[in-house]
Each structure stands twice: as C-alpha cells, then as structure tokens.
Structure 1
C-alpha cells in the first residue's frame, strides 16, 4: 500500500504561464506504509488552468477492481536519479518546496539513502530546475 502525503502546491497566475501552459505543480511525498515512513518526492503538473481536471496524465488505464480510470503515467519521481523507488526501499526525501515563473520551475528537497529517524543519518539538499514547466528536470550542481 502506498501513501501520498504532505502536498505543496506551487502555482502561478494563468496570465503568467509560459508556452508549456503550466499553471501549477503539486509536490508531494509518497511511500509505502504509513505517515513518517520513508518516501520519495513526486511532482504532478496542472496544464492549462488550476482546475483539478487539468492534472496532466499521459497514460490512463482501467483499475481492475473499481473499473475507474487511473493515471499511470504523468507523475514524476524527483528522486529517481538518486535511487529508484521500490517497495522496501529505505531512501527518504522531505521538505519539498518550489517556485514557478512562466516555464522556469525550481524544486528543492532533502534526501537521504539511509532513512531512519533519530539515527543521525545525514539529509542532503537537492535542487532541480526545469525550463519547460516541469516536463523534464536537471540537477543544479
């Protein structure tokens, strides 16, 4: 079971959107198990306006039990280049924040490969930027 939590909405006025038409990006932590467990930071774009129906989805599939449409492609794991997300993975990202101006998006978060609250493991700060409204990201070194 996966748990999405701690959403942050990084938005801009519709009149300020760039050519990629990104109105907002939702940043959130998602991981297996419960609150406080290890998680990665994910991003989801709103394209064309701030209405939830504008959440970008590149591929939809029918859920086998509920028969509802589920977005299976359109979510970006911002930690994938540090460590791919897998069940039982003990990497952890926190404190996701960002800003957007036109098509320029900057996202910052903390990340550790050795999750364990209270064990003194270091969290490094990562900053990623996008020049196309969150369609792709590069690391800032």
Structure 2
C-alpha cells in the first residue's frame, strides 16, 4: 500500500529573541520525503546559525545522493562541542519517509521519536552506534495508515 505523508511545524521564540534556535528543512525526492530538524545550543542568533547550518548540510548531502550514514558521520565529525558544557552546539534528527510505508530515523542528542498508532504510544526500537565519540540512535519503522 502506498502512503501519503502530512506534516506541520510550530516554532516558539524565546521571549525577547527575534530568531528561533531551531531549524526544520523538508525535501521531496521521488517516492520519499526527508525532514531534517536541528536545535542549536542556547537561543538567538548563534543557536539559529548552528541549527540552520546543520539542517542545510544534511539536506545538501542527501540531495546529492550521499547515504544517510555518510551525512550522519559528516555532521558528527563537524559539529563543534561547547567546552564548558561538553555538549554539541547543535543536535539533529533526520527522518526519511518512503511511500512504500517505511521510515528511517537517525537522531543525535535529541529526545526520542514518539510514534502514535491507534491513539497509543507505539514502541520505537533503536540501534545505537558511536561516530567520533557521539552516540547516534537509528530506527527503521514499518508505518501504517493513520500513524502519527
């Protein structure tokens, strides 16, 4: 069965800030839709620049037919780390949704994906791997009509 995907986004700006520290980019390619989401550390201009850089690098590489593994490795090797907090300056999640009814989700330092099926939380199984000392979660999902 072929699936059709819908999505929506909402971003909240920190009080007093003109820019959001998150970035969301979408790309359609053939029978798939790819979403890249990133959260820059902190808020304001610096967070916005780092989040935008992360999503743009990811999408540019994917649109040039590099594998998701290569994208994750490049981002893992490229993203700077805050020396004081020992945290990456931006986190990311990349999800590829295929019309054939499956998805691949890769996450770095983000809250875990939640899948809702028949109005209930459906467990998402992950594999973890390390790239340049950063833990990456990856899941492969078989999707059904009506999943959220």
Greater per-residue helix proportion: 2
Q: Which has the higher strand share?
A: 1
